[in-house]
Chains A and B, each alone.
Chain A
Amino acid sequence: MSNKPLSLEEQLKVNDLTVRFYTYEGIVKAVEKASLKIRKGETLGIVGETGSGKSVTALTILALTPSPGRVEDGNILFRKRDSSVIDILRMNEHQLLQIRGKEISMIFQEPNAALDPVCKVGEQITEAILAHRLREMVEKSIEVIKKEKDNEYDLWTRLETWTYKEMLNNPSDVRLKIIQKIPIIRDITKRRLRQVIRQEIVELLKLMEIPDPGRVIDAYPHELSGGMQQRIVIAIALACSPLLLIADEPTTNLDVTVQAQILDLINRLKEKFGSSIIYITHDMGVVAEISDRVAVMYAGSVVEVAPVKELFRNPLHPYTKGLLESIPRPGSPLKSIPGTVPNLVDPPSGCRFHPRCAYMMNKCKEIMPRLVKVSEDHYVACLLYEGESDD
């Protein structure tokens, strides 16, 4: 899987992504030559213990690598709605604004932390809609005015209509800009736009199976339960029907019944919106339930990728085998992988898994295995399989 271009059925391809954090303790080699691909409409599960680089990879796909992180190598190819292919890592800030939230969006591990505490949830959803669907909303507002029975429009309605037409045809008009700076006038001339957006949000919240959307819109995040907060975060992410949804452990911090509801919701929304999904988790059970294919990450690299059934039936990488054996099962003793996730400032040489690997060979300490194809759609990065076949 080197720098191959996107085939038509592929939505996103991450090639040899390398991300490092320059901290006082040293250089954290958080992601090392990680490669992934997501096909259109499929759900890719990413599993791995805490610290294996899942979140950093996810955020880097949005070009939001947290500081002091730097992308050192690799590319992230993405097929946009208009079918053109871009490299996200080579976009400027302006171009990225057209990708984030519109083509790719994200839901987070802690919904409580992902919402601005001093901003009503309705406003936060509105922001997402205004950022990418302003035109559509303004057009709808004009329609609303046209449909109103009485055609004797008062002065305000005419001003409102003028404002909308100007917003569509001539957004840089000086008069428009002045009007939008005067608080009361600004509010009056956007009355229907506000109603239209509010209606849009109510519909969106209904899709999220939120009871009493009218009340929730005006609530602050802290007034909602964790499950409701996560539904809001999902609503924000889906507000512009993105092509790719990245869910970074969206149920980890919720209690078990709510977890099941959210998982269920995401599954149903996926069918409705047809988005591709990257579902990140450290829970093998969740992966089995939600993914079409699974990528296993260890210490910053993708070590195995396979369709979900294939992975559970025929795990190849020693780490994957360990993960599967550590799933709690009634009647059999819990086995956990010996050792701990390595310190990524000074990671093990060669294969980063070698200190914990039961199959370790001498060359494992020297050679970093690359992801190779072992059978149709099944890739593994382990020297045990090197040379069997190449991509």
Chain B
Amino acid sequence: MSSNLRTYIARRLILLVPTLIGMTVLVFAITQLFDPIERAALYITEPRQARFVKEIIAKYGLDRPVYIQYFNWITQVIQGNLGWSQSLHMKVLDALVTRFPATAELAIYSTPLIILFGIYLGKLSAIKRNTVIDHASRVVAIIGWSLPSFWLGIVLLAIFYGGMGVFPPGRLSEWAEALVRSGEFKLYTGLYTIDALINLNFSVFLDAIYHLVLPVITLTTINVALIMRVMRSSMLEQLNKMYITAARARGLDEKTVIDRHATRNALIPVITLSGLLAAGMLSGVVITETVFEFKGVGYFAAHAATQLDIPAVLGFALFAGILFILANLIVDILYAYIDPRIRLG
């Protein structure tokens, strides 16, 4: 069995190579929409190189056949050169690296909450189908789902920050910001909550959490219905299956029937969705980041797009593409763990 699983994972990893190539080809295809001078920006790493556009076009063969251009471009990408972002005045790769921690910090707190609440509510709804509990949780979830995130964000800010003076926007208070920037506080991951714990600085940790409360509530409220709906219908489908009746027929109590049998099977479709959700959260949540001044990847991508900053947008597309491919990989491996049938195929 476990050797089965190992071959499955190995096969899945090998498959990663063509998928990644396919994704880069797609991103590269976008560059073909622009003329060579615009494309040259992708190869510039410093502003002063801008004078040498002609040379760059010649050097990278931007007027040569497409496959040569792709080869040249991908060589640069592999070396980490994603071009120069005019809108941020820095290398695209640097921009992504500096912006990613803010997004990641939002994602690592909201995604598990969304998934756990979604699964819990979906399961509860299904078990209590057509009762007040079922209707109430579905209505609440749908309301959350249909709220515009900027509206919810602004209302929460108005009530808590504006009205009560708690939960301010931004990632840290001024004093904490200053401390973090001083040499005393070592940055390891750029995720302030985690770095604060590594530095054993609990006041910074609490301050970071304090700033995370509202954006995390916003993201959770809005996305929980996504998981809940799939969990509920998946659970209902499983509860109707014969193996559930069979499990009851052998004298198992309802808790065992639901937890050990129905839920495990019902989770299978939820895993895919959770993987996509996680990838989506990690690739940036434009509106929430903007409303709460959590300047992460989403904020950066939106900004770059409005400025027609092509290298930045492409860099963002590559980044999101890689995240989704990795998320799919993880989802597939989790699948194989949960569902033994997959390991054969």
Contact = CB atoms under 8 A, between A and B. Distances in A.
A136 interface: no
Nearest to B340: A220
Interface stretch (B115-123, B237-245, B300-308): B237-245
Contact of B251 (A102, A114, A118): A102
B250 A114 contact: no
Given A106-B249, A108-B246, A114-B243, A119 B260 contact: yes
Contacts of B264: 116, 118-119
A97 B252 CA distance: 7
Nearest to B246: A114
B246 A97 contact: no
Contact of A131 (B242, B252, B339): B252
B247 interface: yes
A304 B139 CA distance: 52
B338 A100 contact: no
Contact of B243 (A101, A113, A131, A222): A113
A118 B339 contact: yes
B17 to A, nearest CB: 30
A218 interface: yes
Interface in B304-345: 338-341, 344
Contacts of B254: 93
Interface stretch (A2-10, A59-67, A81-89, A258-266): A59-67
Given A110-B242, A113-B242, A114-B242, A127 B339 contact: no
A117 interface: yes
Contact of B249 (A101, A115, A119): A101
Contacts of B339: 117-118
Interface string A260-293: 0000000000000000000000000000000000
Interface string A73-106: 0000000000000000000010001111110011
> Binding site of B, secondary structure by majority: helix, strand, loop or mixed?
helix
A14 interface: no
A135 interface: no
B272 to A, nearest CB: 16
Contacts of A118: 264-265, 268, 338-341
A101 B250 contact: yes
B164 interface: no
Given A117-B339, A127-B256, A218-B1, A64 B251 contact: no
Nearest to A102: B251
B248 interface: yes
A220 B342 CA distance: 12
Interface residues of B, number: 25
A153 to B, nearest CB: 33
A236 B265 contact: no
Contacts of A124: 247
B250 A237 contact: yes
Contact of A236 (B242, B250, B261, B338): B250
Contacts of B253: 97
Contacts of B338: 118
A135 B36 CA distance: 80
B270 to A, nearest CB: 14
Interface string B166-196: 0000000000000000000000000000000
A116 B261 CA distance: 7
Interface string A226-263: 00000001001101100000000000000000000000
A349 B325 CA distance: 63
A250 to B, nearest CB: 12
A186 interface: no
Contacts of B245: 59, 64, 66, 114
A93 B248 CA distance: 11
A132 B247 CA distance: 13
Nearest to A246: B249
Contacts of B344: 222
Given A114-B242, A218-B1, A105 B340 contact: no
A30 interface: no
Nearest to A237: B250
A98 to B, nearest CB: 7
A117 B339 CA distance: 8
Contacts of A98: 251
A132 B249 contact: no
Contacts of A233: 246
A127 B344 CA distance: 26
A252 B247 CA distance: 21
22 contacts: A62-B248, A100-B249, A100-B251, A101-B251, A102-B251, A105-B249, A106-B249, A110-B242, A113-B241, A114-B242, A114-B243, A114-B245, A114-B246, A117-B339, A117-B341, A118-B341, A119-B260, A127-B250, A128-B251, A220-B341, A222-B341, A233-B246
Given A98-B251, A118-B338, 15 more contacts: A64-B248, A101-B251, A110-B242, A113-B243, A114-B246, A116-B261, A116-B264, A117-B340, A117-B341, A119-B261, A127-B252, A127-B256, A128-B250, A131-B251, A222-B340
Interface of A: 59, 62, 64, 66, 93, 97-102, 105-106, 108, 110, 113-119, 124, 127-128, 131-132, 218, 220, 222-223, 233, 236-237, 239-240
Interface of B: 1, 241-243, 245-254, 256, 260-261, 264-265, 268, 338-341, 344
List 4 A-B pairs, minimum CB-CB distance, nearest first.
A101-B251, A101-B250, A113-B242, A114-B246
